[in-house]
Structure 1
Amino acid sequence: MASHTTCAVMGAILLVYRAALTSATVYIVGESSGWTTGVDFSSWTSGKIFVVGDSLAFNYAPATHTVNEVKAKDYKTCTASNYLSTDSSGSTIIRLKKAGTHYFVCSIAGHCSSGMKLAVTVVNASSSSPSPSPSPSPSPSPTPPLASSTIAAPTQAASSSPTESTKPTNTSAGHRNAQSLVSANLLSLLIVSIL
């Protein structure tokens, strides 16, 4: 009887662990600016890793903008009429269901051509951690004795409260890896305490 209970508890723990690893991120397109003209959406996507299951939240004034998902060729030419999907509600949520590049434009005249378009590359969850690039080998240099080494304390620039653009709004690959490590440690502790 005890072994069945232990197995059931361990199974439940594994389900919770799996759910923690597969949690999706909702990205606010354009952050505090939202989906509007005058935002550099190429810069906004820079450094972000979009994973299957994540969502894009487009916030904008209804009737002043649209969110049209289009094909690559229509994205390049700002042809919004050949859309795969469209919405003008002011609050559009797009769930990223498959890997590949997804393209979005605003269909209001002149908006796409002035930069109101977004391309996001989505990866499968198993490939969300980019492989580190090899670093060049340092040239051999003599190592000073430990006693004479000086270790500088890390410095941090003084700042007031973080601005909108510096606040963490999305889960990065590093955060996902840290989350996985914490989850794995918790899982190990729970299993040890059960046994």
Structure 2
Amino acid sequence: MYGLSFLKKMVAVLFLLSGISASFDACGSPGSAENPPNVVFILVDDLGYKDIGCYGSSFYETPNIDQLAREGMKFSNAYAAASVCSPTRASILTGKYPARLKMTNWIPAPQEPVPFLNQLPLEEVTIAEALKVAGYKTYFSGKWHLGYGAYYPEKQGFDENFGGNWRGAVNRTYFSPYDLPNIEDGPEGEYLTDRVTKEAVNFIKGTD
């Protein structure tokens, strides 16, 4: 998937949750208490409904995502909780409408006409926290954009965090040196999307 042209224009948020001693077959068979499924959740920034092949795109080539759709499940009647990044992320993590979280705009947008929170409150229960209670090891990689240091993924239920910080975009460039919090620079010229993907794959391979 490294070469997909649409991914070259954005930093994907990878939010990966790997179950301990779990197995998950290609068809997505449900697990049990003794054999829970692994969970991999990928949220792509600025992705339109018809930007991938399985939903009708004839411009962008997304063969791997299309295969997931063929072999798994595809939703055809759904909507995003918000049209911008931060409230969408907050809603996915908590299962609540952005308005109930008092997070109705991207961070840190102008506080007009109605003030809103610039962070996901720590008292909210996230899906990562719920999965940890069930015995999962949790990992976050990519764009967080849900508050500053005290509200980073490590404070919201994730055991490990690669790259999740307060920023909503890269710092000038997608190529190393990145000059970003929570991301060590790689070899000069390394591409950020490739690095995020590599770190996520390494986490999965290293989790029993």
TM-score (normalised: structure 2): 0.20
Q: Flag the structure with more relative contact order, 1 or 2, with Cα contacts below 8 A and sequence separation at least 6.
A: 1
TM-score w.r.t. the length of structure 1 is 0.21
